[in-house]
Amino acid sequence: MTKRYKISIAYDGSEYAGWQIQPDNMTVQEQLEKAIEQLTNEKVKIHGSGRTDQGVHARRQVAHFDLEKPFKTGVLKKALNAILPADIRVMKIDIVYSSFHARRSAVSKEYRYFIWNAEIVPPFLRKYRTHVRKKLDIAAMRKAAVHLRGRHDFASFTANTRKEIDGKVRNLMKLTVTKRGSEIIIAAKSEGFLYKMVRSLAGFLIRVGEGALSPDDALSILYSKLRTAKVPTAHPEGLFLWRVDY
């Protein structure tokens, strides 16, 4: 009898072309599907909670797949981690009801964007922090973030409006800026995000922090519904899919 498995995955996205399978490029989904087939002799399709771009990491990506032959979750987790590359790890596996869907059943996602704001970034953090040398004005970034919270049309903060077949209105439940020493963390939570929306929000907030834009520019950019050079897409290495809630 077919069973549905929900898995939580952590991965270092540095060497991958993103989550979703692509021709001629190595992806996280591809590696997981290959490992499951090697272990179970079943060809499966993994459905993720969402896509991550090239170079983006995940602390807790969630996905599901079905197997005809039953496996104990502990055995399956241990065996998959023995097969997978060291930069992908299955953190947890649960058997769930057949109607569970990793994307459609999710009620919210949280991303965190990490900035190293100092002259020199430690070499062991270079793949996991976006390096900004100019001192950032945290108070200004926080003021801009307040303007962006709530339900809005975020057309100005997506890299490709044509990809958004479900519309561009999203409820940004959380957008905070936290500083710990040289590290600045932008946390964003919503029921769903547009294409490259979090990196666009981070790119805008960085420009505000540098003094190139004012916090109040958030309102005029938001209401314009037009993507311009005022909203750059921040580099991918600082971005982590932090958690998915159900």
- Rounded CA gap, 46 and 241, in Å? 17
Q: At what angle do helices 138-148 and 217-224 cross, to 10 degrees?
A: 30
Q: Is residue 53 annotated as a catalytic residue, yes or no? A: yes
- Rounded CA gap, 58 and 40, in Å? 25
Torsion angle (degrees, nearest 10) of CA 218, 220, 226, 231 = -30
CB 102 within 8 A of CB 64: yes
| Token pair listed for 133 | 């040398």
CA 224 to mean position of chain CA atoms: 26
- Rounded CA gap, 33 and 45, in Å? 7
Angle made by CA atoms 75, 81, 84, in degrees to the nearest 5: 135
Catalytic residue among 53, 94, 153, 217: 53
- Rounded CA gap, 240 and 170, in Å? 20
| Token pair listed for 170 | 């999203």
CB 246 within 8 A of CB 110: no
* 180 CB neighbour count, 10 Å cutoff: 7
Q: Show which residues are catalytic.
A: 53
